[in-house]
Amino acid sequence: MSEETSLKLYLKQIDHVPMLSAEREKELAHLLIRENDPAAREEMIRANLRLVVFLARHYAHRGLALQDLIEEGNIGLLKAVEAFNPELNIRFVTYASWWIKQAMQRALTHAMRPIHIPAYMVEMIARWKKASAELEDELGGAPGLEELARRMKMSAKRARIIDRAVRAFNLCLQTQGDQAGNTLLDVLGDERTRSPDSSVQDQDEIHAVRMLFRKIDQREAQILRLRFGLEDNRPLTLQEIGDKVGLTREGVRQIESKALGKLQAYLA
C-alpha cells in the first residue's frame, strides 16, 4: 500500500470519530489521573486525531510530508493527554494544540536546520545572551557592545565578532521557525527575541496562560503579566516592574522565579 493510499485510509477512519463534550473530557481526564485508565486514554486520543491533521495541514510544504507531520503531532497529542489537568478549566483542544504544534515545529527544525553550530560557540552565545539580559535589567535598556565586552571580559574586537554570530544565530532560528521546548518559559516566550508567529500570540494559548495565572497569588500573576508583556504587549525589565509595584529588582526576580516554578508544576 502506498503512503498516499495509507494516509487516505487513515483520514477516512478518524473522520467518523465524534468530538468530546467538555463534560466528557473532564470525566476521561479524571479517570486517567485517578486510575490510569487505558480505555479513557484511548478515547481521548482518538477523539482528537482530527485536530492533529488540521494543525498538520498548517505546517505542510515546509520541509516534511503531511504524514510525517501527523506522526509527530500525534506524539505531541499523547503528551498532552498525559499532562492535561481538568482543573485548569480550559478545553482540552486549547491545551493540546500547543503540545501538538511544538512537536511539529521541533521536527521541522531538525529537518531543515542547514548548519552545525560548534559546541563552544553555542556556549559562548548562551553566555552572551545571559550577560545581555542582566545588563538590560540593570541599565533599563539594551546594553552597548563596550558594556557587553567589559561584562564578558573580552576585547572590543572579539565582542563585535560574537555580536555578529549571535545576530546570525537568531536570524537562522527565526527563519526556520525554531520554537522547540516544553517549559513554561517557552510557552510565554520573550517579546525581545521571539519570532512573529510565536505561539503565545495565539489567542487560545494566551487564554490558557491567563487561566493558569488564577492558580497563583495576585501579585505573582501581575509580575508575570508585566514581565512577559501580557498587559500591553511590551515586556518590562525587572527594574521597570520594581518601580511600578514598589519592589527592588531582586525582589521582583525572586517573585518571578517562584511564580514560574508554581506554574511549571501545574504543567508537569
- pLDDT tens profile 181-239: 434 444 444 433 333 333 333 454 555 566 677 778 888 888 888 877 676 656 777 77
Where in the chain are all domains bearing CATH 1.10.10.10?
184-267
Report d(CA 128, CA 193) in Å as an integer: 14
Question: Cell numbers at residue 141, please?
Answer: 535598556
Where in the chain are all domains bearing CATH 1.20.120.1810?
3-112
Residue 20 φ then ψ, to 5°:
-95, 145
> According to the model, what pLDDT value does residue 187 have?
41
Question: Cell numbers at residue 128, please?
Answer: 552572551
CATH 1.20.1440 fits 119-176, yes or no: no
- Write down the CATH number for the domain with range 184-267: 1.10.10.10
> According to the model, what pLDDT value does residue 266 have?
63
> According to the model, what pLDDT value does residue 110 have?
73
CA distances to 38, 71, 154, 231 from 62, in Å: 35, 15, 40, 33
Note the CATH architecture for domain 3-112.
Up-down Bundle (1.20)
Instruction: Please list the rounded mean pLDDT of every run of 10 residues in the chain (268 residues).
Output: 77 90 93 91 95 91 86 92 84 90 85 58 79 87 87 85 72 48 42 37 54 80 80 71 87 85 67
- Neighbouring residues of 50: CB distance < 8 A, sequence distance ≥ 6: 14, 15, 17, 19
pTM of the predicted model as reported, rounded to 2 decimal places: 0.47
> According to the model, what pLDDT value does residue 113 have?
53
Task: Kindly state the DSSP code that residue 177 receives in the 8-state scheme.
Answer: T
- Neighbouring residues of 110: CB distance < 8 A, sequence distance ≥ 6: none
